[in-house]
Structure 1
């Protein structure tokens, strides 16, 4: 978030060094509460929406929920999952971005007692935003987040499905453990590669507090960012997003497939 919203960092390692120098270890865990509170609910809604939408599309088009879906079906169900995520994640994204861009120098650096920060935690941040900006403040950057999550979720589920089909040997109807690991990891990288430009814009719109009004909307934010910093600004944090996405989504899809197979075997 700091790399995407501020232009004085020379790169990933410079950002790490500066954050540690000024704020020590706690600087790396800002906004973690908002993310932790949202992740389980958001993941279950996202995958649940995808599975149910895919089943509904198959029933509508082919007459059976378990029919083989087309790539278009998978993409549409993925986009629907992305749209469902936005309703739940936008407030936590705003809180996370505000917390992560807030400066709280460590007392050992300033040699003075720590000043009271504006946001004292993720939940306090949400309360302050509602008080100063109304409930609409919780949905700042919603248009950028919708563009990011709909397109990224479509490519996420489509690439995972396509890679699983490609890597699974003929005669097996379900992908093996290693296939799920690799397909999930690469699907995450592809999705974040597509999502990064809108992720940059989303973060910039969300740090725009009520007394700033720096950006008038999505298009204005894109135009101003590119005008001041060039097209490369839209790809800030791309490498970091992709490095993070591979292991995270390996675990996500292994868990998803494991839960599906467990419920199929013991419940159905």
Structure 2
């Protein structure tokens, strides 16, 4: 495997470990105040966390899945950027490359990672919204397979793919743009590290701000499937109907009952999480890339000797 695969995998896993508690709050807020699976979510974000273990609920699938997702994302981004601009020899330092090419390469990376992100997000969302404390990522995955089959793992896949393509386009675009604004050739190692952390955090916030309404719709679509197991949890968006709503119906119903604010509920906590997670994730990725490349280069030199 290439260095960008393993750097992406490990940095993605690190990001999930750090960000899962705040992601849990974000998902429960997005699901809506009238979703029976999330009692009193808007009245108290923490009061209904049944135990300390609930703060890491749904983390198992993302740790495994998001590590792989991040690996595919960075590999696809790096290869796409090199195809879009033949002058690029080091994708981690694309100086002089037009920003629109960075966005396009990021969007291609997002689409490539969708094969992992769609089932991982579905399992995570379901696990985080379940009211039973004994629920795990594995039990949720088995329940989805039992009730919906293998294709069911990609429920809400269309809106997830749109979110990933647009979001990761802005992810790489905003990170590189921020670096070009703040970095200088005179920076020492300490200054460089701080600026990588800062630009990584900015990239995370910009990404989620660009796609948050799509992510909210995805969350509510996936929240409906909790009723596959328990009919009493089918009250989505304040409706007593047991009908499963489509993407457009979810958006329309959310706007009708809650207004525009429904599409941005949880953005504040999500932005805090995004800044912290992506600051650490980008710093981890760049440090791991440098370490792996130096190690493997040394090994090649040793083999020649």
User: Would you say same fold, with TM above 0.5?
Assistant: yes
**CA–CA distance in structure 2, aligned partners of residues 76 and 148 of structure 1:** 14
**Aligned: 1:16 with 2:31:** no
Counterpart of 1:157 in 2: which secondary structure? helix
**Aligned: 1:159 with 2:185:** no
Q: Which has the higher contact order (CA 8 A, sep 6+)?
A: 2
* Partner residue in 2 for 1:206: 222
Compute the displacement of 1:221 (Å).
1.7
Compute the displacement of 1:263 (Å).
3.9
C-alpha offsets along residues 95-117 of structure 1, whole Å, 9 cap, x if unaligned? 11111111127xxxxxxxxxxx7
Compute the displacement of 1:171 (Å).
6.8
* Partner residue in 2 for 1:190: 206
TM-score (norm 2): 0.74
Taking the TM superposition and a 5 Å limit, the aligned residue runs for 1:110-189 are 120-170=135-185, 176-189=192-205
C-alpha offsets along residues 91-150 of structure 1, whole Å, 9 cap, x if unaligned? 121111111111127xxxxxxxxxxx7xx4212211221111122211111111112111
Taking the TM superposition and a 5 Å limit, the aligned residue runs for 1:1-268 are 1-8=27-34, 9=40, 11=42, 14-17=44-47, 19-20=48-49, 23-59=50-86, 65=89, 68-104=96-132, 120-170=135-185, 176-209=192-225, 210=228, 212-216=242-246, 218-268=247-297
Q: Is there any run of 5+ residues in structure 2 with no aligned partner, and where? A: 1-26, 35-39, 232-241, 298-305
Compute the displacement of 1:34 (Å).
1.4
8 Å Cα contact 1:58-1:65 kept in structure 2: no
CA 1:213–1:55 in 2, change beyond 3 Å: closer, same or farther?
Answer: farther
**CA–CA distance in structure 2, aligned partners of residues 97 and 261 of structure 1:** 34
Deviating runs (4+, > 3 A) in structure 1?
A: 8-11, 64-68, 210-213, 263-268
CA 1:26–1:261 in 2, change beyond 3 Å: closer, same or farther?
Answer: closer
* Partner residue in 1 for 2:15: none
Counterpart of 1:14 in 2: which secondary structure? coil
Q: How many aligned positions are there?
A: 247
Counterpart of 1:199 in 2: which secondary structure? helix
Compute the displacement of 1:213 (Å).
4.0
Counterpart of 2:152 in 1: which secondary structure? helix
**CA–CA distance in structure 1, aligned partners of residues 44 and 136 of structure 2:** 26
Compute the displacement of 1:198 (Å).
1.0
C-alpha offsets along residues 164-184 of structure 1, whole Å, 9 cap, x if unaligned? 111111577x98212111110
TM-score (norm 1): 0.84
Counterpart of 1:169 in 2: which secondary structure? coil
**CA–CA distance in structure 2, aligned partners of residues 29 and 259 of structure 1:** 25
* Partner residue in 2 for 1:111: none
